[in-house]
Structure 1
Amino acid sequence: MRWPYRALSTAFGVADAVVPKALLPCTSPDALIDAAGTNPAPSAREGLRQLITAIDADSKLTFFGKVSLRWDMIRLLRNAQKVEDAQRNESITTVPVQAPIFILGLPRSGTTFLHSLLAEDHDNQVPRNWQTIYPGQRPNDFDPQADPRARTVDKQLKMFAGLAPGFAGMHPITADSPQECSEITAHVFQSLRFDTTFRVPSYLHWLEVHGHREAFEFHKRFLQYLQAGVPSRWVLKCPDHTFSLDAILEVYPDARFVVVHRDPIAVLGSVAHLTEVLRKPFLNNIDPAEIGAQVGSRWIEGANLLLDFDRRPDVAPARKIHLHYEELTLAPLAAIERVYRQFGLELRKQAVAAISEKISARPRGGYGKHASYSLETFMLSAQNLQAQFAPYVRQYCR
């Protein structure tokens, strides 16, 4: 950790110990809504209430966690209001989001790498990190170095990477990198994203019962806001899509899917470690064994849901394609050509050149060699996991 971030981390640690709770800004749902000056929909209000209740009950926030929670909630409320207000503009609402492409699969399986390559094709639109923090349109000639929103987000990302050692190596991103859909659905407080940085089991239970339909209805309005009346081919990515496929198909009945597969045993240690890294700036109560149990059970369920998805009669074979991690990382352009053929899309010469340049500049997405993260650190048994993942591995990883 470089010295400015080490000093900042130390300052947050001192503040954590000495600043009385009474001096911290209030994070009750009503106080947050009042501070944002917004009027969220009833379902968003309920999601916020469930989330804050869960955080208060089950998360022991650091000083940074307490401060960032208020900033994050107010930002989400204001962004959502901006998107909802834009619904009065018929030039935005009458242009549909047609046949979007959703990338899903187990975490650490290459979905981010694929998303970043597909973003190089100007015929595709992807939500960018800066757009989910400062929603706005992105022209083809967009220069992140010249845009104050993108420059601000890059500074925020660098600060976070300094406070979360190891994050940048495991998940290298910039302000203009493609962003996951869980950051969009977070705007109505119905997103699995919150479980990444907080400990919120009661919120997860509520969200599972509540479902994701309203979140993806907002997701569609958010994309319409970003495309600003210009028909776009959206390419969207998030491992958490695995748990919201019913809602996705209700809102986007013409959606297409790219499912990326990788041996779960090879990645679960990395998934657990990344969760631990992401939580450290926000939480004082981090239990590696609990993270291991949560990650293991969630992605056993996720693997079974992917098997179920492949059997759905309402998703024709022409609307989905399966890729394997090794296929994608060893010959990424060939894998992308196969995706385009599957969906009857033209891969233009300019896109091939841009994608090839990206591959050359950042092989495997800029990730270094994956470190071997011990399953035992998180109290996970490879033998037990192999038995529970066996149907998935037999189907997709042989």
Structure 2
Amino acid sequence: MRWPYRALSAAFGIADAVVPKAWLPSTQPDALIEAAGANPAPAAREGLRHLITAIDADSKLTFFGKVSLRWDMIRLLRNAQHVEDAQRDPAIASAPVQAPIFVLGLPRSGTTFLHSLLAEDRDNQVPRNWQMIYPGKRPDDFNPQTDRRARAVDKQLKLFAGLAPGFAGMHPITADSPQECSEITAHVFQSLRFDTTFRVPTYLRWVEAHGHHEAFAFHKRFLQYLQAGVPARWVLKCPDHTFSLDAILAVYPDARFVVVHRDPIAVLGSVAHLTEVLRRPFLSNIDPAEIGAQVGARWIEGANLLLAFDRRPDVEPVRKIHVHYEELTGSPLTVIERIYNQFSLKLRAQAVAAISEKIAARPRGGYGNHAPYSLESFKLSPQALQTQFAPYVSQYCR
């Protein structure tokens, strides 16, 4: 951690000790809604209430966590209100979102790398990091170096990376990098994203019981807003799609799927470590063993859901393709050609050139080589995991 961030981190630590919570602006739902000037739908209000209740009960927020929570909630409420208001424009509300491509699979399996390559094709649209802060259409001549919104978000990302040592190496992103769908569904407070940065087991149980249909109905409206009335071919990525496939298919019955696979034993240590890194700026109650148990249980369930997804009669074989991590990182352009052939899409010369340049500039997505992350430090047993993941590994990782 460089000295400015060490100083800032130290300042936040002092604030933790000396600033009473009563001195900070309220993070209660009604106060957040009033501050945002928003009028969220009942389901979004319910999600916000469950989230704040869970954070109050289950998370011990740092000073940074307390301050950023209010900023984040107000941002989400305001953005969602802009999206909902835009539905009054028939050109936006009626614009189709046809046959979107969803990339899913185990986390840390190359889905981000694939998403970033597919984003190089001008015929594809992907949600960008800056669009989660400042929703709006991305112009064809967009330049993140000169756009004030992208520059502001790049500063925010650098600040967070400084406060979360290890994050930039594990997940290198910029303002204009593709962003995950969990950031979109967070706008209506029905997202698994919150369970990554906070400790909110009661909220997670509520989301699982409530389902994701309202979240993905909003997801479509958000894409319509980004399209600004002009239909686009969307490529959307998030490992959490694995847990919301029923909702995705209800909202997007013509959706197509790219499922990326990797040996779970090779990724779970990394997933647990990234969760710990992401939580550190926000929480003071971090238990590696608890994170390990959470990550292990979540992705054992996820692996079984991927097996079940492959047997669904309502998703024909022509609408899905399986890709392995080693294949993707070893010959990415070949994998992309297979995906385009599977979905009968034309891979234009511009796209091939741009994707090839991206691969040359950032092999393997820009992730450095490092020793495998320890499972044992998160109290995960490799032997037990091998048994629990055996059906998935047998199907996809041999």
Q: Deviations over 1:219-242 (max 9, x none)?
A: 000000001111100000000000
Q: In the alignment, which residue of structure 2 is the partner of 1:190?
A: 190
Do residues 218 (structure 1) and 243 (structure 2) align?
Answer: no
Q: In the alignment, which residue of structure 2 is the partner of 1:143?
A: 143
Q: In the alignment, which residue of structure 1 is the partner of 2:79?
A: 79
Question: Which deviates more from structure 2 when the two are superposed, residues 166-175 or residues 138-147?
Answer: 138-147
Unaligned ranges ≥5, structure 2 = none
Partner-residue secondary structure (3-state), 1:72: helix
State the 1:22 CA deviation. 1.1
C-alpha distance in 1, partners of 2:246/2:264?
A: 23
Q: In the alignment, which residue of structure 2 is the partner of 1:207?
A: 207
C-alpha distance in 1, partners of 2:124/2:145?
A: 21
Aligned-residue Cα RMSD (Å) equals 0.4
Q: In the alignment, which residue of structure 2 is the partner of 1:65?
A: 65
Q: In the alignment, which residue of structure 1 is the partner of 2:45?
A: 45
- One-letter identity of the residue aligned with 1:325: Y
- One-letter identity of the residue aligned with 1:146: T
Tell me the TM-score normalised to structure 1 length: 1.00
C-alpha distance in 1, partners of 2:377/2:84?
A: 45
Q: In the alignment, which residue of structure 2 is the partner of 1:367?
A: 367
State the 1:143 CA deviation. 0.1
C-alpha distance in 1, partners of 2:227/2:176?
A: 16
Q: In the alignment, which residue of structure 2 is the partner of 1:324?
A: 324
Tell me the TM-score normalised to structure 2 length: 1.00
C-alpha distance in 2, partners of 1:7/1:121?
A: 42
Unaligned ranges ≥5, structure 1 = none
Question: Which deviates more from structure 2 when the two are superposed, residues 140-149 or residues 162-171?
Answer: 140-149
Question: Which deviates more from structure 2 when the two are superposed, residues 337-346 or residues 140-149?
Answer: 140-149
Q: In the alignment, which residue of structure 2 is the partner of 1:295?
A: 295
Q: In the alignment, which residue of structure 2 is the partner of 1:265?
A: 265
C-alpha distance in 1, partners of 2:35/2:92?
A: 28
State the 1:371 CA deviation. 3.0
- One-letter identity of the residue aligned with 2:217: E
C-alpha distance in 1, partners of 2:374/2:118?
A: 32
Partner-residue secondary structure (3-state), 2:241: helix
Q: In the alignment, which residue of structure 1 is the partner of 2:56?
A: 56
Do residues 241 (structure 1) and 247 (structure 2) align?
Answer: no
C-alpha distance in 1, partners of 2:36/2:98?
A: 32
Runs of 4+ in 1 over 4 A off after TM superposition: none
C-alpha distance in 2, partners of 1:133/1:314?
A: 35
Q: Deviations over 1:268-290 (max 9, x none)?
A: 00000000000000000000000
Partner-residue secondary structure (3-state), 1:107: coil
- One-letter identity of the residue aligned with 2:351: A
State the 1:162 CA deviation. 0.2
C-alpha distance in 1, partners of 2:326/2:370?
A: 13
- One-letter identity of the residue aligned with 1:101: I
Partner-residue secondary structure (3-state), 1:322: strand
- One-letter identity of the residue aligned with 2:122: H
C-alpha distance in 2, partners of 1:318/1:141?
A: 34
Partner-residue secondary structure (3-state), 1:88: coil
Q: Deviations over 1:298-319 (max 9, x none)?
A: 0000000000000000000000
Identity among equivalent positions (%) equals: 85
C-alpha distance in 2, partners of 1:244/1:330?
A: 30
- One-letter identity of the residue aligned with 2:266: A
Q: In the alignment, which residue of structure 1 is the partner of 2:19?
A: 19
State the 1:370 CA deviation. 3.8
C-alpha distance in 2, partners of 1:20/1:250?
A: 46
C-alpha distance in 2, partners of 1:212/1:267?
A: 26
Q: In the alignment, which residue of structure 2 is the partner of 1:286?
A: 286
- One-letter identity of the residue aligned with 1:151: R
Q: In the alignment, which residue of structure 2 is the partner of 1:336?
A: 336
Q: Deviations over 1:14-62 (max 9, x none)?
A: 0011101110110000000011011000000000000000000000000
